[in-house]
Chain A
Amino acid sequence: MDAPSHGGPDAVLVARLRGGDEAAYAELLTLHGGRMLAVARRLLRNEADAQDAVQEAFLQAFRSLESFERRATLGTWLHRITVNACLMRLRSRKRRPEQSIDELLPHYDPSGHHLRRPEPWPPRPDAPLEREERRRIVRDAIDSLPESHRTALLLRDIEGLGNDEVAQALGISPGASKVRVHRARQALRTLLDARVRGGEV
């Protein structure tokens, strides 16, 4: 993301926020609100929930301005708070029993060979229309992953969190987090395989 800015625009803005400058609050929201809303929409897939989470996140950020450290950037700091606000919401949602990811993972014969032989994927076409269609298909496939795996994949591969950060955000061990992200990618590969080879993606 953005480079840390000692005495840069972030530091100036933070100083104004800490000083209670009303205009600075509006500026912060204009600068970062759209990106945080995009994060919340991805994770929560519901506009009202996403807006609520962004509101919670910013209010939380305003309350903890004192804990903002200069070695972070405002962008990464707010991103972290927004991700946490979204995860709180995901946890509080009524839990539906999750379908198992097993059938989307590769299966092997007794000697450890793939039961379904991996086939190469053709290069992706780059026309804008095809790209839009492809992006939609991939997002649909990600959405059809079991929720806990979908969240892990988004945090690691889309939101760009490190493995330890994903583990902490999900409240699981770093080892478990690694495996969960890996299985999510493997499952996504299975979901996309036929469609990519059939030339749809």
Chain B
Amino acid sequence: MNRRPVLRVHNCLPSSLAHYCQSLADLVDLAGGRVQGVYGVDLEVPGRSSLRKLGVAARILFEQRRTPGRSSQDRLLVAWPAFGYLDLILWRPGAGRVAVVLHDPLALRRQRGLGVLSRGLARSYSAEGVELVVHSAAALEHVHRLGFPTAVQLPLPMRQPSSKWTRGRSIVVLGQYKAARDLKLLGDLGPRLEAAGLLPEIWGRGWPEVSGWKVHEGHLSEAEFDRVLHCSAAVLLPYTRLFQSDVAVRAAEAGVPVVGQEGSNLTELYGRNWPGVVAAGANASHWLDAILSVVSRAPTEVIERTDRRYEEVVAEWSNWLHDSADGSPLAEKERTIRRVQSGMGLRWAKRIVRTAELRRLSARVRPLLHRSTVAAALQSVLLDRIDVVGYNSLGPPGLDRVVSQTCTAAQILEPRYEAWAKQLGETPRFHRKQWEYVVILEAARQADVLHEGASAVGFGVGTEPLPAVLASLGVDVLATDQAPEKAGHWSRRSEHASEVAALEKPWICRSEQFYQRVQFRQADMNRLLGFGLYDLVWSACAIEHLGSPSAGLKFVRESLKLLAPGGLAVHTTEFELTRTEKTADYGHCAVYRLSDLTQLCEEVTEAGFEMEINPYVAFEHAADRSIAPPFSRGDEQFHLKLALYESITTSFAIIIRRLSQS
């Protein structure tokens, strides 16, 4: 007979995480396991000093020696990491595995062990068998990006929902004050809620006065919490940044509607089309609309939605609990990635590499540097700068149905990609340039414009292989590039075409066929004159070099005029992965933000074209987490993301289709 897997829980916040641990125990029981004791040193007792934390560390070491796991299925779950990322080093598995739950990868309030140094140490020295657990997709994405690729996502434990909601008039904010609370939003929202006949109330400790809101300052007991929750009209989560909310889970259990920003666990709890999910950066009137929309919902609808989620929560915890330690794919993945990973994210590394960035270094020294440990250390600094919260709601893009999407390692590993790489005469490489060629070809194939007699026009072709590939497939190609006198360094780098012979790739297309199908002419992308209609219009990483960000987007709009009915335009470009106020413009190169592309999408859709964006930014594969440093020569093993001046970029394919009947 199979032994029930045992989960030991270490909880050093017994009061704050009481509900968490009780729900967890219920879930484990349902999943066929059992929780063996919830223990831990109470850090919540007032007056505990930093010295006391050292005592906690000693106690942890003592505890894990005293109660080793009895089988590989036994697990220890650290419900709150007292030392942040450093807990990954502190805990050593016995016979079983250790799971350290990180509630907030970025501190919402002051917390030890979440800094760059702690992360770097944890990345380098955490033990095998210690896994990092997070509770939302946003948190998972964040820790992947910080260099913890084996982190797993489990839902916040919850109990079976049952409607205890007696709809009141209060819109409540529950829980203590943290710096991440959006006071400005609350200030804007309070008077509007009152005007709408609702009562805005805040319950929790540490809150300042907020205009328009009635603040009940002080600690809430469990009973008080339940009472306030059940009598509210809706619960509000006013955060500038939030990974997941325990308050949202408790509201879901009681069937109370919740309103919060996208990117937290709200979508997971209430489903995709829940009206209480507000877009990032939305103003007070959007929040008000969302609140008014959810308070009108029937209690049965809320319970129906959260019930579905509960079943998923039970299943996911059950799977995790029964996943054996050694043979699991996760354990194997972890071992592989540990071998690959190296380097520590130390600030001095950035300074050293910045020195290398000065263009004085010779070509012999640069490759040595960008393959060194120092460069590996720079990775964490660069990864830290990426901010793509809210980009990944649509899931990873693939090549099975190409839309406007980013470059990811997963696409490069697809068989379809390999087939196109073969057509290019290459093997698949984790290089964004190769991905750009492949995604253009695959999008064209899916739009059915790669047939004998189809016509295509390419802009800024340089010496790229696409004209040769298209010619080999029977497509008539007009390749264009700028005039030689304007080509500048492109010409010196042999990346400029001034005649059709420069585009010939004998390993792709036979000479006779190539010269029969391909024509060349000079063209200024800022002034499109004398073109006809084509089935395919493309450019590979050219639009960002047109002088300004607006010139690039103008070209994209103008290029749509060259599309025959049913034709396709594919333009690849630089995609901004950091958060910036305005589109980066480095003179010779622009880097487009998601908002720029979303705006373009709205415009072209309104004009009758088809465009769909999936801005998913991947961090799953080692190649997704590698950022080519500023002194890169482009010959790294992984070249999907790039540090470009102040930006971190990846390639993005803008794909727009003209409808057949238009």
Say if A and B assemble together: no
